[in-house]
Structure formats: structure tokens, C-alpha cells
Structure 1
């Protein structure tokens, strides 16, 4: 109150001078005094403001505390764990749950140490040969109190980094932008390419790989892939790309507010879709996911060796066709900020034991690479070629693929099942 009057040069001693020198100053003074009273009530007695319907604008300092929680399932990928956690901690995530299975690169030891430090919770995720570890992890996560007591939850992979583009570029800023009444936000992928890099380096992925597809491109169906941040209390169960409705809910009648990365409402088709949206539902204005699906050529060889998280299906997904399909390098902008990640990463690696385990994991990965480089297939790939298929055939396949799976194709209208 005193600061307000000092700033405006209006007070008991100044009233006469102001009134005498300015026509209509009495009205001005009364208006200023009224506004000062409102400001005082807001700060000292906000319940009166509410009772008398005085508007109170919400500011970032009086927003509710929101608990953001990321869930993931990994097999190996140890060299990338610390950076992934660091980046999302900088965005405001405070809870992390890791499920892991069949790790042989030391990733499980890194997770154990992070759990000892109180940074994450980690669970062994044993699965049968016919089970998908990620689906098993999602089912088990739905039984955790830490998940169900969180305000917002998302299932991301360790090669997916959320880029918030609004306000302070935090998750709180994102929720402020889309509105507190929002129940789910689906983020589209932006595929980040190799940038022509061949070798594996122990440096942050976010700084090494800066080229990707142009925002808003529609000529490739992969752009429509999504991951979803959602309120767990409003949905029935967790799934990998989007939550599932409660059994009693009907799409279009459940009262849920579900938006895309631009804050625009999603249509009812989102309730039947699998991992993709329609071409008209893409949204990047507020947030999207940088998807580092390939990284460097050496790292892609490790990804092929690791496979799809199931030891019995190691080469079922990540063939050289997948590389050609996801190595996008058409645009540098926009860049994802790295300052917060670097700060959080340094804080985590200040723990000597965690730093040692991270270094060991990197060395194990390099030893694995040494066994792969000399194979004819790997040597050809590292030399910049795709083994087995001539480039002209690959280009022809690509044109056919885009023709039948592009945004205007008949196949694009058939959403895959979850």
C-alpha cells in the first residue's frame, strides 16, 4: 500500500496540491485510491475479494504446485539416461519411474544409483518372450501410488525430449498456456537426424544432433506420431502413446479436454487412434517432442544390436530401412535449449559413483561397437551406404511408401489400433 502511494505521488500530504493543479483530479484521486484498496485486499484479505466478486488474476507465483511424472521402459540405453533425466528436470519434472529388462550395458546399475540418490524409482521388468516390455511396464505402472498421486504423467522413451516453446519454456508454463481445465496434451514428434555423424561420442545428444525435419511438414506419416501428457485420475489406464478411457466413458461424451501441441482441441478420433493423429491435428506452437531415433551411424548399430527391447525380436524393427526413413536433416531451426539440461546434468554427475557408472556404461558400449565394426554389413553402413539395397531402389521404395501412406492417401484414413 505504501509503495503504491509513493510510486503515484498521491497521499494525504499531496492531495491538496494535486487537486489544485489538475482539473478533475478529485475523480482521478478517488479512482487511484479505489485501485489501491483492491490491491490491498488482494494481498491481505483475498477472501473478501472472492466474496464480493472482485477479479483476481492468477500469476505464476500463486499457481498450484503441479507434480509432473515421466515413465519409461528401457533395455540398455545407459549412456543417455543422465541427460534425459537432466533435461526433463530442467522443465519441471520431479518424478521419474524406470522399468528395465535384460540390460547388459550397465544401465541397470546407473538406475540403481539414481534410485539410491532419490532421483528416480526403478523396477526390474521381467517379461516372457511373447510379451512387449513397454506394454507390461505401462500395466505395472498403473498400480503405482507414485503414478496415481501425480498431477500429470507421460510415457516417453529415452530418445524423446520434450521441447516447450511458450513462456518460461517449462511444463508449468505449458499448462498455464493450455489452461488448467485441460486433461491431456498430445505432442507430435519432430524427427532429429544424424547430421552426417558417424561416431559415438560421450557428449549430450541435444547438442550433438541439431538437424531434423521442418516443423509442419506433412509429406511423411511418421510426423503424426504422438506421446501424451495426461491427468491419470481422469483416465482408465496408461498406454504408450496416449491414455485409455475409463470403461464407462464414451468418446465425445466423456467431458475430457484433450488438446494438441498448439493447444487446439483434438477431435473424437483421438480416442480411437493408435500412435498417430490425423494430418489436420498436428500442433507445434506450444510444445513437441524431439525424437532422436537414429543418432550417429555407430549408435544406430548399437540400437540394431539392442533391438526392440525383446531379446527374441532384436532385428524386427531397426533395419537399415528404418534409418533411411528417420534420418531427417532438412532444418536446423528451431533449436532446443540446453542450458537447463547442462546445469542439471553437471549436478547429477557431481556424484562420483554415478559418474563412474556412467563412464563404465560408455566403455561397455564402445567395446560392443568394436565387435560390430568389422562385419561387412556394418562396414558398408559406416561408410555411408545402406547394405543390401541399391540407393535408386530405396528412393523408389520411398516414393511408393509416401504415396500410399502420405496425408492424402486412403491408408492414412485408417488409424492403427492401440
Structure 2
């Protein structure tokens, strides 16, 4: 079984080895990684990893009509690795597959869900938990506090990434789910959530989040470390988003993801295998040098941004802002009702 993970990155050299080592431990066999506009050596690091046989790297220079990630996915649609893959998942560098079924591997998950053709992996939002400074240490160990199950607002708490069987039912990749379903095959697809529950047929052609208020993580969840340390978040704002060329992060992005109510260390089942793989990779002197250079670049870049008032002010506001609290059910229901009312309102002329 060949399982392909597709990734788009910019200036993520300090985090790349942990992400790669973790997903090798999970059971992904192939990695197709696109880089754009890197100034921290991420592209050189990916070149070295490709030379070592760990992944396939493609440069993705702009300009792009819809942002670098969409341009990368269009290129991935045509890549030989895509044609060879049995299962495909599009991921970001801050997303970590965390399987609870069996021994925690993709093989165990798929054996538990033998009829599934698409598995909706629901985000579990892992908050910042007051960590101020960037550290060269595993993200999955530094940030163990997360959102509780059953949150119904914000809707991003139920957002998905989709691992799907590459059987021709979908003809194009998407950021959160495959696109362009084949009318002749779509009726045979079976979508399930991360607890193995069958999802409605509407998921075959649409939907970006699993049903609100349920626990979709019994078999598998997608740990989403969207914030990281406060210093790292400032650099994230400086970088911009991968799927929209000129869209910046701000404090609203932080508040909607900084949930720290529940301690969840289940991902530590992978820690020994991940650490061993990182050590094996860093035994290559050039790769180790590039990793250390990426760490030093982050420290220099943060210091430079602190000379600019907008970034300095953002850093201060992050330190002032406590973790977000899940809304009580009546207030969450109120927000959902407001959203439904807005969606039903006809557009203004």
C-alpha cells in the first residue's frame, strides 16, 4: 500500500524534520513537497532530503493566480507519485495525523475501516498554552493542551482534511477534500469520520467539516498546532498564508484557535519512532547543518521584526491575551443561528 502525503512550505526548515519523521512513523510511504520563496534554507533542506531518498521536492515559484498552495496542488495532480498512490492526503506543516486504532499506523486504521474510500480527519485544535519563546524541540511535545470534544463554535473546530482512496472517483486535489468527482464513480464512495461513522451522501461532493457537537476522534484525529510559540506566530504572520497569496494572520486567527482546556498526549505513542528517525536524518552532516541554520534564521528574523511597530504590538497583544474559552452551549447555538441566518439572506444588490 502506497500512501502519499502532499505538503506546501515556506520558511519551515526548523519544523520539517519532526513533521517528516512523524508521518513516516504513521506509515506514509511517499512525500511530495513543494516550496516557494524560502529565505531560511527550507528549499535547500528539501533538496538534501530528496538526495537522501526521503521525499520528492519541487520548487513552486510565483506568481500564482490563487496562491502557492493551489498552484502546487494543480502540479501534484499530474505528478507520477499521485498516479502511483493508493491513498492521498494533503497536509500542512502544522498538522499531524494521530491514529488511535490498533498500533497507530495507517495500516491499522484502514484495516478498521475496510469499506471506507474517504476518511474525514477532523482537526483537534492545540493551543499555545502560554508558551512565549520558540524552542528547537518537538512541537508535539511542547503543546499538549487542546480543544474539548463537542465544540459547536467556531466551526473551524470541526474542519477536516480528507485522506481518500486514489481510485479515480475524484479528479482533482483540494486543500481540505478532493474535488471534481467523477459522476460515474461518485455513488460508490463511502465517507466516514474519524470515529468510523458513515457520513451523509452530501460529503461525496461537498462539506468541509464533520457534524457539529459529536466526537469525531475515536479512531483518528488531526492534531493541528496552528499557533505554536508566540514568537513563531509572529513569524507566521510575517510569512502569510499558503492558500491565499497576500492574506495575513492576525489576532482573530489566534483567538479562534487558542483552546487549551484538555490535555491530550496521545500523540506521544509515536515519540520513540519519531525521535529515532530525526536522529537518523540528522546523522547526515549537511542535513544537520541546514536544520541548525533554519533555527538560527528564525531567531534572527524574530529579532528583526521586533524593530517594526506592527509586529512588536502583535507580540505584546499575544502575551496579553489569555487562552480562549469554549462558548457555553446557549451562546454557541446563538452564533450558529446568526451564521445560518446570514447564509439564508439574499445577497445585497
TM-score by structure 1 length?
Answer: 0.74
Shift of residue 277 of structure 1? 3.1
What's the counterpart of residue 410 of structure 1? 340
The Cα of 1:220 is off from its aligned counterpart by 2.4
Query: Does 2:235 correspond to 1:302?
Result: yes
The residue correspondences of 1:204-223 to structure 2 (distance < 5 A) are 204-223=138-157
Q: Deviations over 1:210-262 (max 9, x none)?
A: 111013333321111100111112322211111124333476xx111111101
C-alpha distance in 1 between matches for 2:166 and 2:24: 20
Aligned residue in 2 for 1:187: 121
Structure 1 distance, partners of 2:342, 2:265, is 27
Correspondence for 2:258 = 327
Separation in 2, partners of 1:307, 1:138: 18
Tell me the CA shift for residue 80 of structure 1: 0.8
The alpha-carbon deviation at position 351 of structure 1 amounts to 1.1
Provide structure 2 residue ranges, at least 5 long, that are not aligned to the other structure: 345-349
Is the alpha carbon distance of 1:411 and 1:268 closer, same or farther for their aligned partners in structure 2, counting shifts above 3 Å? farther
Q: Which has the higher strand share?
A: 2
Q: Relative to 1, partners in 2 of residues 1:404 and 1:150: Cα closer, same or farther, differing over 3 Å?
A: same
Q: 5 Å matches for 1:4-403?
A: 66-179=1-114, 181-234=115-168, 235-249=170-184, 254-279=187-212, 283-309=216-242, 313=246, 316-337=247-268, 338-383=271-316, 385=318
Q: 1:260 to 1:363 in 2, by over 3 A?
A: same
Q: Are the equivalent residues in 2 in contact too, given 1:67–1:95 (CA < 8 A)?
A: yes
Q: Is the 8 A contact 1:405 1:412 kept in 2?
A: no
> How many residue pairs end up in the alignment?
339
Q: Tell me how far 1:304 sits from its aligned partner.
A: 0.3
Aligned residues of 1:266 and 1:281 also touching (Cα < 8 A): no
Paired with 1:171 and 1:408, the residues of 2 have a C-alpha distance of: 39
Stretches of structure 1 lacking an aligned partner (at least 5 in a row)? 1-65
In structure 2, distance between residues paired with 1:74 and 1:175: 28
CA contact (8 A) 2:66 2:245 kept: no
What is aligned with 2:347?
none
Q: TM-score, normalised by structure 2?
A: 0.88
Alpha-carbon distance change, 365 to 296 in structure 1, aligned in 2, over 3 angstroms = same
Shift of 1:271: 3.0
Q: Residues 69 and 96 of structure 1 are in contact (CA less than 8 Å); yes or no, is this contact kept in structure 2?
A: yes
Tell me the distance in 1 between the aligned counterparts of 2:102 and 2:341. Answer: 38
Contact 1:404-1:411 at 8 Å conserved across structures:
no
RMSD: 2.9
- Tell me which structure has the larger Cα radius of gyration: 1
C-alpha offsets along residues 351-400 of structure 1, whole Å, 9 cap, x if unaligned?
Answer: 1110101111111111101111243444444345579xxx79x99x9999
Distance of aligned partners of 1:310 and 1:243 in 2 relative to their CA distance in 1, 3 Å threshold: closer
Q: Distance in 2 between matches of 1:400 and 1:324?
A: 20
